[in-house]
Amino acid sequence: MSKKLSLDKILQSQGFGTRKWCAEVIADGEVSINGSVVDDSRVSIDTDGLQFTIFDELWTYHEHVYIALNKPANYECSRKASHHPGVLKLLPEQFDRRDVQPVGRLDHDTRGLLLMSDDGPFIHRQSSPKYHVPKIYVATTHAAVSDELVAALLHGVQLNDEPAPLAAVSCRRVGEYQIEIVLAEGKYHQVKRMLAAAGNHCVALQRAQIGKLTLTELGLAEGDWCYLSAAQRALLVAD
């Protein structure tokens, strides 16, 4: 649903700065729409499909942003990182100002597909265990992957702080030292702890897929990000 906003409010909503700062940038002639400079911050603009240029960089208006990031290792999934850089450092600074946050968490040393958004209901749907959105991980193990390891993970392993054994939705060997594990919940360090409980050890971990959205199909190099289309967001569901 389209709506009209003053140009300074549009820039503020996209995370470029305070409304006063945005008005000053507009007055300085740094903002253009369809190739024409707009220097009146109060002009009302239809946001539907709006593209604008600020400081010679083209941007598209998004009421909410839905982002996929190929997270590298040694980044924290937190807006207030403590021991490593936060994943917001990998995005333009505008996203930090508009309160974009990680959807769930990956350990600092875990790589792969991470969703980020400023849409609260979307974050809740993707994070809540009641929706059982499957997530696929590829783990590199210390010892070779055995048939017994796969069987144990499928049957269920007991973790110290869990009332009942946890089992993978599915599990298969994809290399001598690599195993693919599908989980429908996101317990703390779950893949690593399940592998340890089954008698092996995780030395590297990547999240390759959420729902039906795969990192491979997104084509993101490590550290890169993209906006998710409505069609791609529709893949983020349980089967």
pLDDT digits (tens, 9 = 90+) for 77-101: 877 767 888 899 999 999 999 999 9
Specify whether the CB–CB gap between 5 and 11 falls below 8 A. no
Which residue from 59, 73, 67 is spatially nearest to 223, judged by alpha carbons?
Answer: 73
**CA–centroid distance for 151 within its chain:** 31
Amino acid (1-letter code) at residue 155:
H
Q: What tens digit of pLDDT does each residue of 158-216 get?
A: 998 888 899 999 999 999 999 999 998 878 889 999 999 999 999 999 999 999 999 99
Give the pLDDT score at 238. Answer: 65
More confident residue, 81 or 141: 141
Reported as a pLDDT band with limits 50, 70 and 90, residue 53 is very high
96, 107, 109, 119: which is the annotated catalytic residue?
107
Domains present along the chain, CATH in parentheses: 4-60 (3.10.290.10), 66-129+216-233 (3.30.70.580), 134-210 (3.30.70.1560)
Active site (annotated) includes residue 48: no
- Quick one: CA torsion of 52, 58, 63, 65, rounded to 10 degrees? 180
Q: Is residue 239 pLDDT above 80, yes or no?
A: no
Of 3-7, 39-43, 157-161, the least confident:
157-161
State pTM to two decimals.
0.90
